[in-house]
Amino acid sequence: MNDFCGNDMVTLKGIEKDSLDFLFDVSRKMEEIVNARTRADILHDKLLGLLFFQVSTRTRISFESAMKRLGGDVVGFVDPKTTRVGDYYQESLHDVIKVMENYADILLIRHPQDGAPEKAASFTDLPVINGGDGYNEHPTQSLLDAYTILREKGRLDDLHVAMVGDMNMRVMHGLPIIFGQYRTKVTFVSPANRTMPEAWLNEFDRVNLEWNEQNEIDSILDDIDVIYLMGTETPSYSKGKTEAGSDMTLTPKPYIIDQEKLIKGKKDIIVLHPLPRTDELPMEVDSTEAARYFVQTKYGVVLRMALLALMLGKEP
Ligand code: CP
């Protein structure tokens, strides 16, 4: 059953296994369109409204690709400085949503403030997608991460996943909620000052996730099926490296996944990363069997095609 039709996708809290399995089944069908490098006309009469209050490479472009692969189109802004949000008026989120709802059929919002997409959804009856909000959540990233694991490992049950990096990052929060619906165990690997916030651990308990925390990965590498990697140093979401006035801090060695570490792991271990990367994932890993972070971006398109079609009530 299509539980996505007409609803928002602002959080994964409360999502159920049946809905996930259904979304992943539809994603698999969408792969045929992408693999054939063709386009369908399922969404030929629909427009996706982009509201990017923060920059993006993958989220924005993969959603644009997904919409256009299905025959739809996109309108909107990719930099608020080019709109009245960024000038003297500093137009409010409320007013921007009330205007954009007349220009599009579904809205995708990325915002530096936690909770902004949920707030946006309260201003409109259109379905709203969270493209990443502050340090809160990035639900479609987590969905595509889970779909990548499903496709590359053949299952989402009975795995042991190491999530490595800064647990404050928004990509770290939705994926364990998905794992809670399956029998997958998670170990959060981070420095002591980058551990998973208590509120999220409580969410994971609510979905009966089996989780552990530790500050190094070496002692469990021989039991890990999937490494989900991020840096340990949180970059500014609003400033560039030069603008921020400092060089990116180097990742401490325990949190760098390089060839030397992967050799100690299982033969079929895989590495996912939402990208962009810094030094936690050296380019030497790209040529290993474990690297899955570029095919992950392809799965991002198919998962987002499925999500757009289902949210707009156009089940293929
Ligand atoms: N993974 C991800 O969200 O990338 P972007 O910031 O480029 O969208």
For the segment 117-153, what is each residue's pLDDT rounded down to a tens digit? 999 999 999 999 999 999 999 999 999 999 999 999 9
pLDDT for 316: 76
Binding site membership of 275 for ligand 1 (Cβ less than 6 Å): yes
What was the pLDDT predicted at 315?
A: 80
Q: How confident is the model at residue 237 (pLDDT cuts 50, 70, 90)?
A: low
Ligand 1 atom with the smallest distance to the CA of 61 is 8
What is the helix, strand, coil percentage profile of the chain, to 5? 40, 15, 45
Q: Is the CB of 277 under 6 A from ligand 1?
A: no
CB 58 near ligand 1, within 6 Å: yes
Q: Is the pLDDT of residue 241 over 70?
A: no
d(C-alpha 83, C-alpha 243), whole Å: 21
- Distance (Å) from CA 58 to ligand 1 centroid: 5
Instruction: Give yes or no for residue 297 CB within 6 A of ligand 1.
Output: no
Query: Which conformational region is residue 279 in: left (phi greater than 0), alpha (psi within -120 to 50 degrees), or beta?
Result: alpha
Beta bridge partners of 109: 51, 130
Q: Going by CA atoms, what residue is nearest to atom 1 of ligand 1?
A: 274
Question: What was the pLDDT predicted at 248?
Answer: 60
Residue closest by Cα to atom 4 of ligand 1: 58
- Comparing CA positions, the residue from 80, 125, 84 lying closest to residue 104 is 125
To the nearest whole number, what is the mean pLDDT of the chain?
95
- The pLDDT value given to residue 85: 86
Asked if residue 132 has its Cβ within 6 Å of ligand 1, the reply is: yes
Alpha-helical runs (H) found in 207-248: none
DSSP secondary structure string, 167-194? TTSTHHHHHHHHHTTTT-EEEEE--GGG
- 202 CA → ligand 1 middle, Å: 26
The C-alpha torsion from 150 through 159 and 162 to 115, rounded to 10°, is 50
Q: Which of 29, 10, 315 is nearest to 140 (CA)?
A: 10
Q: Enter the tokens of residue 266.
A: 């299982």
Which atom of ligand 1 is nearest the CA belonging to 138? 3
Most distant CA pair in the chain, distance: 57
Q: For residue 212, give the 3-state DSSP assignment.
A: strand
Bridge-based pairing of strands 73-77 and 47-52 is parallel
For residue 221, what are the contacts with CB-CB under 8 A and spacing of at least 6? 261, 264, 265, 266, 269
| Res 246: pLDDT | 57
Q: At what angle do helices 171-179 and 139-153 cross, to 10 degrees?
A: 50
59 lines ligand 1 (CB under 6 A): yes
- Global pTM reads 0.96
Omega before 276 within 30 of 0, i.e. cis? yes
Task: Write down the pLDDT at residue 87.
Answer: 81
pLDDT for the residue numbered 250 = 82
pLDDT for residue 233: 81
50: Cβ–Cβ under 8 A, 6 or more apart, which residues?
Answer: 60, 63, 64, 74, 75, 76, 77, 78, 108
Which range has the worst mean pLDDT, 46-60, 93-107, 231-245, 302-316? Answer: 231-245
Torsion of CA 238, 241, 244, 249, to 10 degrees: 110
Ligand 1 center–CA 33 separation, angstroms: 23
Ligand 1 atom index nearest CA of 274: 1
Q: How far is the CA of 78 from the centre of ligand 1 (A)?
A: 13
